[in-house]
Amino acid sequence: MSHTPEYERLLAELNSGELPIIAQKILNMLLQAPKGITRKGLIRAVFGEEPGNNLSNDTRDRKIRKAIEHLRDLGFPIVSTSGKAGYRLDTDPQNIEGMIREWESRIVHLQHRVDAARHYRDAFLRIFPHK
C-alpha cells in the first residue's frame, strides 16, 4: 500500500531514532498517571505543545499512536477502549482480557474482509482470466 509523502516523512522521522524517545516519554507519563491520560494530554507531555481540536491530521498524534503500538508490541499492557479516550498502563488481568477480546474481535472482522476480497478476486479472475 502506498503512503502519502507526509506519512513517509513521519515514518522516516520515527525510524531515525525518534520512536524510542517518544515511547520512553509515553511510558513515563503512563507510570505517573495510573488513571490514564488522553491523546491530547500525551501530545502536551511528549512534545510540550498544545494540540489542536482536530487530531486526525496531527502528525504528533500519529507519532504517539505509533509509539503506543511499539510499546504494545514489546508487551506493555497499555489499555485503551473504543468507549473511552486515552490510554493507561494496566496490570489488572480483567482489563487486559477486555483489551485482548476487543483486538480479537477486530481480527475476526478483518478476516471477513480478507475472505470477501479473495472471493471477489477469484470470481473476477474466473470471468476475466488474466493473461
> Do 69 and 98 fall within a single domain?
no
Distance from C-alpha of 40 to C-alpha of 50, rounded to nearest angstrom:
8
Q: Looking at residue 64, what is its pLDDT?
A: 94
Same domain, 83 and 101: no
73 and 22 assigned to the same domain: yes
Whether residue 25 is found in the same domain as residue 83: yes
Burial of 22 (0-12, 13-18, 19+ CB in 10 A): buried
| Residue range of the domain that includes 69 | 1-91
Q: What is the mean pLDDT of the chain?
A: 88
- Do both 48 and 100 map to the same domain? no
pLDDT digits (tens, 9 = 90+) for 75-108: 899 988 655 668 989 888 998 888 888 889 999 9
Q: What is the pLDDT of residues 57-69, one digit of tens each?
A: 888 999 999 999 9
**126: which 3 cell numbers?**
474466473
